[in-house]
Chains A and B, each alone.
Chain A
């Protein structure tokens, strides 16, 4: 209602129109006051013809476009300055984006712009007084930020998943075993799954079944690795202790169980003990379990 009030205020200051007319200001009455135009009359004309509301909408739209542009550029600069383009170099998503002659950073900055623009449009609509309390628009406004975040999460998930796949594959490149290809794919789809889950729950889709699935998957993973890597984990823990305290060092003659010899090497998981003819590789868990004797000389 403020638009009406301010319009009447300007009106009354320009021409000697009775207060009663000003209070019920409308386009027809202001046109009737036209003969009394002065220097600032052009502005008044526009105000009279279009109404103050229109100017307000124009201002909001202009401001929104500017804000959207600035926000997009800021996002672009921020992502570039923290080194995102280098970090995601070579991921599938980035490569697809490149095929369309754009980039992930570009897409994200444009997404930000559209989001701000969308908000601007709604702000403008509400300013004009279009009934945004309408159920449909209310729903759209409520879901828009959620949708934006969901898309953001999805893109991040896809990019991070690709990157994880690349890193894991790099790690296992020295292992010439075909089955090892399974691991990078597994890591990638785990990240995809998590991202999808977060995105879906963001827009309010029921995800309970997926969460149960995730729980089962994680539980399986933990049980599986606990069983498979039991000895490695035990040796690693023992190795950490041995690393810190170093009860024996390279060159010492030690006895572990029925193995006796000179320590040649030790790392996180094993100790190399060389006897006369054979070099034993003793797991560190065994060293801690059996105890170690150092031969004095």
Chain B
């Protein structure tokens, strides 16, 4: 008869690191002294861990969350390809409730971490724009599904590669994403066509922009429409990041360097 705890023993045998996702203080204290290196992955470093990866979004998809953590740890040279790690992560609700054994591979670099940490715009700005897109996807505009296109970062170049469709409502204004009132404004303006251009520090530069990138060599999945094509293409021409809310399937996608990096379902957040 095999004891149940051996099941766990197999999972944690010879791991090179322990990844704790959003641990509570006591939970972290419990494992901080173990003989394997511990990495904390959380929105905020509340437990004052030495090795810490900031989680910009509480990815509902556990695979995305783990991938983000692993990529962040790879980026910070905490782990490298070939290592085996144990991830203590919460699948249902907030508290860590399961253990996942992951082998770190070079091809795990999907660019999700890169999207937040190494974009031209501030990580906080990208997170805020994601927040707006997710909220917009969830509620829509007055109950109707709505599409939106946000180009974040490298605003000067983006402005030079686009033209106005109409009078710019944000002209001579100094509003930043993340302010509560701005979310309402963005929601209202998303009813009209064109892209929002947002600067590195989160300032909303313009709405109603018609993007004019050269579309050659853009690698986006087939079946996506003109909005995604325009957003994906401009990220190839500039150092911007495009965050697109699809009107037809309601998903939020992020593009960088002409490639789709992340796809999330707003309903799950």
Contact = CB atoms under 8 A, between A and B. Distances in A.
Among B156, B172, B199, B203: residue with most chain A CB under 10 A: B156
A267 B201 contact: yes
A94 interface: no
A274 B156 contact: yes
B159 A250 contact: yes
A246 B201 contact: no
Contact of B199 (A243, A246, A250): A250
Contact of B201 (A243, A249, A251, A265): A265
Given A250-B205, A265-B199, 9 more contacts: A246-B172, A250-B156, A250-B199, A251-B156, A251-B158, A251-B160, A264-B154, A265-B200, A274-B157
A251 B205 contact: yes
B128 to A, nearest CB: 16
A265 B203 contact: yes
Interface residues of B, number: 16
A117 interface: no
A246 B205 CA distance: 13
A249 B160 contact: no
Among A263, A264, A267, A274: residue with most chain B CB under 10 A: A264
Interface of B: 154-160, 171-172, 174, 197, 199-201, 203, 205
A229 to B, nearest CB: 22
A264 B172 contact: no
A224 B156 CA distance: 38
23 contacts: A243-B174, A246-B172, A249-B171, A250-B155, A250-B197, A250-B203, A250-B205, A251-B155, A251-B156, A251-B158, A251-B159, A251-B160, A251-B205, A262-B156, A262-B157, A263-B156, A264-B155, A265-B155, A265-B156, A265-B199, A267-B201, A274-B156, A274-B157
B160 A264 contact: no
Interface residues of A, number: 13
Interface in A247-287: 249-251, 253, 262-265, 267, 272, 274
Contacts, number: 38
B124 to A, nearest CB: 13
B1 to A, nearest CB: 56
B7 to A, nearest CB: 44
Contacts of A251: 155-156, 158-160, 205
A49 B160 CA distance: 103
B238 to A, nearest CB: 11
Contacts of A264: 154-156, 199-200
